[in-house]
Amino acid sequence: QVQLVESGGGLVPAGGSLRLSCKVSGRTSNTDTVAWFRQAPGKEREFVAGIFRSGGSTYYEDSVKGRFTMSRDNTKTTVYLQMNSLKTEDTAVYYCAADRRLILSSLRLPSQYDFWGRGTQVTVSS
């Protein structure tokens, strides 16, 4: 089993920065691919960024490219999302997700991930 716990959310003014962390525990061999998703009120959960398979490429949703950076430590126990130049439209609950057998074409599909954290709230004020 795998446990994912997000932290680092909060209230920040537009233009500010936050760094989210996702602590991974349990059978980390089942977390080959990790990703960040977000869900705003009344909207569907959407892909933000993902690292496809250990040592693989990192992918970003178009609206966060150049502002957000996803990284993973070498021990595979912590995943980060550095968020800069935050906008009010970035306000959402941010979730960490992981899976073992994901294929690249499914990277952006939340239904394809087996493991999820409970989320951390990010609120960007104008």
Dihedral in degrees, nearest 10, Cα atoms 112, 110, 95, 1: -20
Banded model confidence at residue 1, pLDDT cuts 50, 70, 90: confident
**21 neighbors 78 (Cβ within 8 angstroms):** yes
Which helix or strand (DSSP H or E) is residue 46 part of? strand 46-51
Banded model confidence at residue 53, pLDDT cuts 50, 70, 90: confident
**30 neighbors 98 (Cβ within 8 angstroms):** yes
Banded model confidence at residue 75, pLDDT cuts 50, 70, 90: confident
Banded model confidence at residue 94, pLDDT cuts 50, 70, 90: very high
Residue 39 has a pLDDT of 98
Banded model confidence at residue 111, pLDDT cuts 50, 70, 90: very high
Express as a percent the part of the chain with pLDDT over 90: 83
Say which range, 24-33, 52-61, 67-76, has the weakest mean pLDDT: 24-33
Return the bridge partners of 83, or none.
18, 68
